[in-house]
Amino acid sequence: MANVNVTIRMDADLRKKATALFDDLGMGFNQALNIFVRQAVREQRIPFEITRNVPNKETLKAFEEAELIKSGKANYKEYADVDEMFEDALK
């Protein structure tokens, strides 16, 4: 089977991190990409689950709290400036 060259654009930092990982796994960058593509063809899909970056429970709770504060339905303390806030927080 004939080989072809494929060119892709990628963030330099991502390429560096991926190369370090693949080296640690005992393979080169090209070999890792070939493994990915072979697996995708074999399974006829992306060979892993792709999901949105869903916030964790703590973050969701913070979003809800922020909405309550914005709507005026939550009691919260107001500060004149950041120094006042830190002074209160460090008590």
50 pLDDT more than 90 = no
pTM value is 0.55
38 pLDDT more than 90 = yes
61 pLDDT more than 90 = yes
Domain boundaries, the chain: 1-50, 57-89
What is the rounded CA–CA span in Å between residue 17 and residue 23?
10
At residue 24 the predicted structure's pLDDT band, cuts being 50, 70 and 90, is very high
For residues 25-36, give the mean pLDDT: 96
Confidence at residue 51, expressed as pLDDT on a 0 to 100 scale: 84
CA of 55: how far to CAs of 50, 63, 64, in Å? 15, 10, 12
